């Protein structure tokens, strides 16, 4: 018997092999999508030299991308219910690749701005169907979601490095174009690895899919309200931290920009490394117990950051803060466990739309608070939000399992 025959027999006899291959490809796809988004920020200084445009207009284009990204969470879930997760994921990767090509070849800033918004469309469509696909593949989904999200975290570290190296040598257009290449490769791998997924609601009309009544009923459920609150707090804190943690360390603690950049990398690295562990723990000891530990780390981390501590103590503070950010896959698996298979597309999409829109306020609130009352109060607010979320979790922990 040839080696290829042994491999084929092994694949057929190992029920875990295909689903883990799908998980691997989804992680790579999320890396590609996130890379295409993140790469835009680091090349902004070079864009100013190419297009006669202010930094304010560039920032407005990026804001538009994230708003579109948030608003498309519900439609992407509903479309997955109607057409199947596989078809929607492939469409999202194709849209992301096309948007990256538009960015890389844009002759004027309006075209570039339109490409940035289109990038938000492709990225916004991707995550929900990919996550519900993994939920259908794995009986316990926490660790799968945590592993899937590593792709996005790694992209947040890799994209700035490539933007610096490739952008300097070949120009920003080549750097941005890498996003198109990655998403095309990811799409091809996804098509080859995944199989057709039957839609949960194949006969539903678009009017039925977007009927506000059932969506409102889903959002009104106690489980969904409570889980959405937890997700909103974590997203709010996470968005504020990604925007202001380096400048907070420089201005509040007086460290150098290089040291602040190192601490920021630690923040992302801890989050990336510990996300699968958080998902695994939630599968083993329960979502709420795992969340209690993660929220406690958040309270400790952000409270320690606001204190007038020496530089060595700022490192464990950043580690604790990064560990708290690993609660996202636990919260998402908690939500999915409260939805039936037929509700997961629309319900998960509505859930993500709400908490992403609320979380987007984090940069505005924390930035304004820092202007009015200083960085200690602004980051103290983040510690207080985690404390409120932890207190709200106590009744759930007290209930018998």
Q: By the 8 A CB rule, do 318 and 305 touch?
A: yes
Q: Are residues 202 and 269 in the same domain?
A: no
Q: Are residues 147 and 282 in the same domain?
A: no
Q: Are residues 180 and 226 in the same domain?
A: no
Question: CA–CA distance from 125 to each of 63, 91, 203, 240, 334 (Å)?
Answer: 17, 8, 21, 24, 21
We report the CATH number of the domain holding residue 352 as 1.20.1250.20
Per DSSP, helices labelled H in 54-108 are 55-71, 73-83, 85-105
The SS3 of residue 28 is helix
Q: Are residues 17 and 141 in the same domain?
A: yes
Q: Are residues 149 and 289 in the same domain?
A: no
Question: CA–CA distance from 130 to each of 27, 93, 121 (Å)?
Answer: 9, 11, 15
Q: Are residues 52 and 174 in the same domain?
A: yes
Residue where a domain stops, chosen among 207, 241, 275: 207
Radius of gyration, alpha carbons of the chain: 21
Residue with tokens 């996470």: 238
Residue with tokens 């300097």: 168
Q: Are residues 226 and 270 in the same domain?
A: yes
Q: Which residues contact 105 (CB under 8 A, 6 or more apart)?
A: 173
Whole-angstrom distance, CA of residue 290 vs CA of residue 295: 9
Q: By the 8 A CB rule, do 66 and 353 touch?
A: no
Q: Which among 32, 12, 258 is positioned nearest to 127, based on CA atoms?
A: 32
pLDDT tens track for 284-338 = 888 889 999 999 999 999 999 988 765 677 888 999 999 998 888 889 888 888 8
Count structural domains, the chain.
2
pLDDT tens track for 80-123 = 888 888 889 999 999 999 999 999 999 998 999 899 889 989 99
- Sign of dihedral through CA atoms 93, 94, 95, 99? positive
| DSSP-derived secondary structure for 158-179 | HHHHHHHHHHHHH-HHHHHHHH
Q: By the 8 A CB rule, do 329 and 146 touch?
A: yes
| DSSP-derived secondary structure for 293-353 | HHHHHHHHHHHHHHS---HHHHHHHHHHHHHHTTHHHHHHHHHHHTS-TTTHHHHHHHHHH
Q: How many CB atoms lie within 10 A of CB 58?
A: 21
Question: ∠ CA 390-265-41 to the nearest 5 degrees?
Answer: 100
Q: Are residues 395 and 261 in the same domain?
A: yes
Q: What is the pLDDT along the chain (401 residues), one digit of tens a residue?
A: 444 454 344 344 444 567 788 888 989 999 999 899 878 877 776 777 788 877 667 767 777 787 888 888 878 877 888 888 888 999 999 999 999 999 999 999 899 989 988 998 999 899 888 888 887 877 767 778 778 878 887 887 787 778 778 877 888 899 899 999 999 999 999 988 877 777 767 766 666 666 777 778 887 888 888 899 999 999 899 888 876 787 788 888 887 767 877 787 788 788 878 877 877 788 788 888 999 999 999 999 999 998 876 567 788 899 999 999 888 888 988 888 888 877 777 787 788 888 888 887 887 788 888 888 988 999 999 999 999 999 988 887 766 55
Show the domain range for 57.
1-207
Whole-angstrom distance, CA of residue 211 vs CA of residue 208: 5
Residue where a domain stops, chosen among 160, 192, 207: 207
Residue with tokens 């890389």: 104
- Sign of dihedral through CA atoms 77, 79, 81, 87? negative
Q: Are residues 233 and 190 in the same domain?
A: no
Q: Which residues of 329-358 are buried (b: 16+ CB within 10 A; e: fewer)?
A: bbbbbbbbebbeeebbbbbbbbbbbbbbbb
User: What is the model's pTM?
Assistant: 0.71
Q: At 145, list the tokens.
A: 């979601």
Q: Are residues 118 and 217 in the same domain?
A: no
Whole-angstrom distance, CA of residue 349 vs CA of residue 353: 6
Q: Are residues 141 and 273 in the same domain?
A: no
Q: At 235, list the tokens.
A: 């997203």
Q: By the 8 A CB rule, do 102 and 173 touch?
A: no
Residue where a domain stops, chosen among 207, 238, 253: 207
Q: By the 8 A CB rule, do 233 and 294 touch?
A: no
Q: Are residues 201 and 222 in the same domain?
A: no
Q: By the 8 A CB rule, do 121 and 45 touch?
A: no
């Amino acid at each position: 018997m040839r080696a290829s025959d042994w491999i084929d027999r092994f694949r057929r006899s190992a029920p875990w092999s295909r689903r883990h291959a799908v998980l691997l490809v989804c992680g790579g796809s999320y890396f590609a999508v996130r890379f295409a988004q993140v790469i835009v920020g680091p090349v902004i200084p070079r864009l100013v030299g190419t297009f006669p445009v202010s930094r304010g207009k560039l920032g407005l284009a990026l804001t538009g991308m994230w708003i579109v990204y948030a608003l498309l969470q519900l439609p992407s879930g509903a479309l997955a219910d109607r057409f199947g997760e596989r078809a929607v994921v492939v469409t999202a990767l194709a849209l992301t690749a096309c948007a990256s090509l538009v960015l890389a070849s844009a002759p004027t800033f309006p075209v570039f701005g339109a490409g940035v918004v289109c990038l938000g469309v492709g990225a916004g469509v991707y995550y929900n169907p990919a996550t519900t696909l993994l939920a259908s593949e794995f009986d316990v989904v926490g660790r799968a979601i945590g592993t899937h999200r590593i792709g996005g975290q790694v992209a947040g570290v890799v994209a700035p490095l490539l933007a610096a190296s490739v952008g300097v040598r070949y120009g920003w257009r080549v750097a941005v174009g890498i996003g198109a290449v990655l998403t095309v490769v990811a799409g091809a791998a996804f098509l080859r690895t995944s199989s057709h997924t039957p839609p949960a609601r194949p006969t539903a009309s678009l009017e039925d899919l977007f009927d506000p009544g059932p969506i409102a009923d889903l959002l009104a459920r106690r489980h969904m309200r409570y889980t959405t609150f937890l997700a909103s707090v974590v997203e709010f804190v996470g968005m504020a931290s990604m925007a202001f943690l380096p400048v907070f360390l420089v201005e509040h603690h007086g460290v150098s920009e290089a040291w602040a950049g190192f601490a920021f990398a630690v923040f992302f690295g801890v989050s990336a490394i510990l996300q699968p562990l958080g998902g695994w723990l939630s599968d083993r000891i329960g979502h709420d117990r795992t969340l209690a530990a993660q929220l406690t780390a958040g309270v400790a981390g952000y409270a320690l950051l606001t204190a007038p501590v020496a530089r060595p103590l700022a490192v464990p503070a950043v580690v604790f803060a990064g560990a708290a950010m690993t609660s996202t896959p636990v919260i998402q698996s908690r939500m999915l466990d409260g939805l039936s298979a037929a509700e997961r597309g629309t319900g998960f999409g509505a859930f993500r739309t709400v908490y992403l829109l609320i979380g987007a306020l984090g940069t505005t609130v924390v930035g304004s608070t820092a202007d009015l009352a200083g960085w200690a109060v602004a980051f103290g607010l983040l510690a207080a939000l985690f404390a409120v979320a932890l207190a709200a979790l106590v009744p759930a922990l007290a209930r018998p399992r």
